[in-house]
Structure 1
Amino acid sequence: MTDSNRTSPNFSTKIQALEARSQDLSISPKKQGDASRSAEALERVHAAYQKTGLGKLDLVPLPASRPKLDIQGVTISLTLGCQVRGQFKGNPAVGALTVLFNKSEASASARDERARTAAALSLIYATEHLGGHGKAVAKLCLAYDVFRGTVTTCPSQIARRIANMEATCEEVALRWPAVKVPDDYDGPPIV
């Protein structure tokens, strides 16, 4: 999506490669499933690419190593796809595109709320980490819901949303040390 030399990314080659990988018996079933789900996601991106307006944006790759957000002592990792560059009042501006892959949420209002929150987190990230490329502005901070095929712009009035996130993170930070890890937990190390 971030290749400025083409009007539409070459999704078909990537989709075919992922579909072939999903049938490759030499790799684990988990990797086959990952490839199948990735192919499905790319098919959705391809189908909605022009409709969403992604093709009209100046999308720039992010560094491979990205800092995480720290909100009131809670580390937040975002699924950022790229930077979004543009202009604001005649000056360079920057934002970030968060990619949402959840396809199981049935409630449209819940999906919309999640997208608005993700776009707000994109604005926080752009403000804290991308300011060297221009002023971080809400209109360039987006959440792309792959399976719904929609792009949500960060609301311009987000003070209450950010205050709610900060209060929630503060509560998590206060209570986290007392949480007992379940015996059957198999996720990443908890520190």
Structure 2
Amino acid sequence: MAVTPKQRVSPRLSASQLADYLVAATPIGQLGILRQAKNPASGKAMIIQYQLAKRAIAECLRNRSQINQIVAKAVMELEARRDNGANGPLVRDDAQRCIGVIQTFQQAQNQMDLWQHDYTEPNVPSPTMNIHGVEVSVFPDVVASIQHRGVDRVGQVFIRCMIGQTTDGAENRRAEANGHLATIAHMHTMQFLEHLGNPHAPTSMVIDVPRKSLVRGSVNYARRVANIETACKMIAAIWPTV
């Protein structure tokens, strides 16, 4: 007998879902994101795409001197996962995609201006934020820190691995979504990580591996925060009818 997914009564989105909602091309696209958030799949095991790639890339960031060894070990394990006929097609396909993303990171890491910062593991579990009635889950891949003129600056970093569409419009929306995601990371840092240093918007970042790009939070982030807050007010208002 099929299990009906349990709906979320209260508004809750992941940071990535909120960032994508803000740049959705149409209202239908926005509703699709909200419906997915409201009706999370349940009952059957799901494959979280690129999870193993993110884990390996985060380890590389935390241990720069061991990147080649980390990549070699991750690729070897993923190749075994890909070639194991006992695994389903989703698992095997994800393994192949993870290999490609990890290798892209290895090749592009120097051109992305990553190495000004030190990286550490984030706190687990990561607390959620409440933005005007919407619970936003924020699970950064690493915490970034840098010292500037004797002041410790801190931020949080998301690693994005999914290729997605590559049309001009889709690329522009992806870049804008990455900017919103970096701002959400900064908002979360301001609320929960002040004990580690001074929350600094450009120290919160999105590493878009397929595009070999690094998007930093804007120093002038007030407009983005206002857009995020306005969107959350709207989401809270329409959630019961989604």
So what's the TM-score if we normalise by structure 1? 0.85
Aligned counterpart, 2:96: 36
Q: State the alpha-carbon separation in 1 of the partners of residues 124 and 100 from structure 2.
A: 24
| Two-structure CA RMSD over aligned residues (Å) | 1.8
Counterparts of 2:148 and 2:237, CA distance in 1 = 39
- Separation (CA, whole Å) in 1 of partners of 2:227 and 2:97: 33
Deviations 1:46-77 (CA, angstroms, capped at 9, x unpaired): 11112112244201111232122221121223
Identity of aligned residues (%): 22
Cα separation, partners in 2 of 1:25 and 1:64, compared to 1, 3 Å: farther
Looking at structure 2, the residues matched to 4 and 43 of structure 1 have their Cα atoms a distance apart, in angstroms, of 16
CA contact (8 A) 1:95 1:138 kept: yes
- Mind listing any 5+ residue stretches in structure 2 that lack a counterpart? 1-59
Residue 110 (str. 1) matches residue 169 (str. 2) = no
1:3 aligns with 2:80: no
Identify the residue that residue 24 of structure 2 maps to in structure 1. none
Q: Corresponding residue for 1:139? A: 202
Aligned positions of 1:13-162 closer than 5 A: 13-106=73-166, 107=168, 108-162=171-225
Is this contact kept in 1: 2:101–2:161, CA < 8 A?
yes
Determine the C-alpha separation between the residues in 2 that align with 1:7 and 1:156. 32
Return the alpha-carbon distance in structure 1 between the equivalents of residues 163 and 107 of structure 2.
16
TM-score normalized by the length of structure 2: 0.68
Describe the superposition over 1:5-47 as per-residue Cα deviations: whole angstroms up to 9, x where unpaired.
7263521221221122111111222222222222222112111
Shift of 1:112: 1.7
The correspondence for 2:235, drawn from 154, 169, 172, is 172
Alpha-carbon contact 2:186-2:204 (below 8 Å) kept: yes
Unaligned 5+ residue runs, structure 1?
180-191
Change (3 A) 1:159 1:56: closer
Cα shift at 1:111: 2.2
Moved more, 148-157 or 16-25: 16-25
Distance 1:16 1:7 in 2: 16
Contact 2:129-2:188 within 8 A present in 1 as well: yes
- Cα shift at 1:165: 0.7
What is the alpha-carbon distance in structure 1 between the residues aligned to residue 116 and residue 192 of structure 2? 24
- Relative contact order: is structure 1 or structure 2 higher (C-alpha 8 Å, sep ≥ 6)? 2
Name the count of aligned residue pairs.
Answer: 179
Contact 1:99 1:143 in 2 (8 A): yes
Conserved 8 A contact 2:144-2:204: yes
